[in-house]
Amino acid sequence: KETKDQLIIDAGQKHFGATMCKSCGMIYTASNPEDELQHVQHHHRFLEGIKYAGWKKERVVAEFWDGKIVLVLPHDPGYAIKKVEDVQELVDHELGFQQVVPRCPNKTKTFLFISDEKRVVGCLIAEPIKQAFRVLSEPAGLESPSSKECHRAWQCSDVPEPAVCGISRIWVFRLKRRKRIARRLVDTLRNRFMFGCFLSTNEIAFSDPTPDGKLFATKYCNT
Ligand code: ACO
Ligand code: ZN
């Protein structure tokens, strides 16, 4: 059963009155019919997308007190591939990514974090790569109002460095963030990407990171 309790977010200005759905995490204005309709549509699609009924054949690669990580490989049964596609669609929608065709679909590894409530609350999609370009630390003042446009244009080195594994997507359900789910997904990836070795943080690369992704990656790679 879902509660109708809603969290009021004071964004400091006219947005007072915005609510966040406690089930799907969407932030919307409850007093606005258009917004409400959008929410209802998103709500069902989203919760359906992250629902995990459990599979006959599942590859559990890590287990925790609050869930487990399941690995899906390209030749897995159709129901597993379908779930990965559904989750990726939700993630891409949230990230504003266009449908991107993976470079080597036969070598993609997808890690799903399944919560105790039987939901996919985290997803990591990885692929083999040969090189990556290091993100250079931001020049001071990048966050200043005048440079809002370059929110995603981190400066990259033009010297390629060898790498092994590219993280093309990492995502955690909004209501489950900051519980180390992303960290546990990357730890598991490093352990599982190549047989018999634990990848160093230098061997993995995040592709086109969002501001959230960059904050996470910076923290993860320094600890
Ligand atoms: N702001 C500041 N620090 C952060 C943030 C953040 N938003 N997210 C993570 N960190 C740092 C923190 O130091 C955190 O440790 P702490 O909570 O003890 O302080 C540490 O990273 C580990 O964080 P996790 O709890 O493991 O990260 P989480 O499970 O919350 O997931 C993620 C992080 C995946 C970036 C999540 O915020 C998310 O899904 N965001 C939206 C989707 C997105 O932008 N994904 C990245 C796209 S880039 C790409 O896919 C290559
Ligand atoms: Zn909702």
Average pLDDT over residues 20-34: 92
Q: 112: which strand partners?
A: 70, 123
Q: How confident is the model at residue 12 (pLDDT cuts 50, 70, 90)?
A: very low
Name every residue whose Cβ is closer than 8 Å to that of residue 134 and which is 6 or more positions away in sequence: 156, 157, 159, 161
What ipTM goes with this model?
A: 0.98
Nearest ligand to the C-alpha of residue 3? 2
Q: How far is CA 8 from CA 12, 19, 37, 143, 153, in A?
A: 12, 5, 19, 27, 33
Average pLDDT, the chain: 87
Tokens coding 169: 């997507």
Q: How far apart are CA 169 and CA 166, in angstroms?
A: 9
To 5 degrees, how large is the angle CA 172–CA 131–CA 82?
Answer: 40
| pLDDT score recorded for residue 13 | 46
Q: How many CB atoms lie within 10 A of CB 105?
A: 9
Q: How far is CA 191 from CA 62, 106, 133, 184, in A?
A: 10, 20, 23, 11
- Please state the pTM of the whole predicted model: 0.88
Atom of ligand 1 nearest to the CA of 177: 30
| Residue 120, SS3 per DSSP | strand
pLDDT above 90 coverage of the chain, percent: 69
Tell me the best of 216, 220, 221 to mutate to test the pocket of ligand 1, counting ligand atoms within 8 Å of each CB and taking the most.
216
Nearest ligand to the C-alpha of residue 44? 2
Tokens coding 81: 């591939």
Q: How confident is the model at residue 2 (pLDDT cuts 50, 70, 90)?
A: very low
